């Protein structure tokens, strides 16, 4: 396989103080190359979901999964390929509006990417995008660095495609 393929790791973890610290401490100590982490609540009380993206080879991925799984607070963990999942990221992009009549072009682009304008001043707009990371990258490229005042991205969250949950049974690994 190619050396830097993207993988998505989904974990269910205990929702208590210090868990995020334990996870990030492990990642730093073991020298893992994690691109994004997102944390949020789940359908189970007391259990949070962490989603990681990692670029690397299969054996690196294996180490990340097994080392994370060793943490007592990590209840379940699965690693998947991006094509198996529905993946979304939220981006807020603050854009300087051009004053040379190109405003319509900007708005068209926003619409094309299914963005919403969530804030506006006479000179700027803030656009909310919920998209795959690749689509967000491409939006940013199209708008052009010069016009962008600020970008805030959340990192991805993801669920497996199809009818089953990503992690089928809490406490058992997929």
Task: List interacting residues with other proteins (CB under 8 A).
Answer: 13-14, 18, 21-22, 25-26, 29, 59, 62-63, 66-67, 69-76, 170-171
Least CB distance to other proteins at residue 30 (A): 9
Interatomic CA distance for residues 132 and 90, integer angstroms: 9
- Comparing CB distances to other proteins, the nearer of 68 and 85 is 68
Tell me if residue 70 falls in helix, strand or coil: helix
Interatomic CA distance for residues 159 and 82, integer angstroms: 10
Interatomic CA distance for residues 18 and 155, integer angstroms: 21
CA distance to 104, 115, 116, 126, per residue, from 111 (Å):
10, 6, 7, 13
Strands 124-131 and 85-96: antiparallel
Contact 149, 116 (CB under 8 A): no
Least CB distance to other proteins at residue 11 (A): 9
- Comparing CB distances to other proteins, the nearer of 63 and 111 is 63
Least CB distance to other proteins at residue 34 (A): 16
CA distance to 53, 57, 173, per residue, from 61 (Å):
10, 6, 15
- Comparing CB distances to other proteins, the nearer of 17 and 122 is 17
- Comparing CB distances to other proteins, the nearer of 36 and 173 is 173
Least CB distance to other proteins at residue 62 (A): 7
- Comparing CB distances to other proteins, the nearer of 19 and 127 is 19
Least CB distance to other proteins at residue 170 (A): 7
């Amino acid at each position: 396989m190619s050396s830097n393929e993207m993988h998505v790791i989904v974990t269910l973890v205990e929702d208590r103080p210090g868990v995020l610290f334990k996870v990030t401490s492990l990642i730093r100590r073991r020298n893992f190359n994690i691109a994004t982490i997102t944390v949020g609540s789940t359908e189970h009380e007391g259990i949070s979901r962490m989603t990681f993206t990692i670029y690397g080879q299969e054996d690196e991925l294996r180490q990340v999964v097994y080392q994370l799984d060793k943490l007592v607070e990590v209840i379940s963990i699965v690693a998947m390929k991006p094509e198996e999942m529905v993946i979304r990221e939220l981006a807020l992009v603050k854009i300087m509006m051009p004053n040379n009549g190109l405003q319509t072009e900007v708005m068209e682009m926003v619409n094309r990417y299914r963005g919403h304008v969530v804030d506006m001043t006479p000179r700027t707009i803030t656009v909310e995008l919920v998209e795959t990371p690749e689509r967000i990258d491409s939006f940013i490229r199209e708008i052009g660095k010069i016009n962008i005042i600020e970008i805030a991205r959340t990192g991805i969250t993801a669920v497996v495609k199809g009818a089953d949950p990503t992690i089928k049974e809490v406490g058992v690994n997929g």
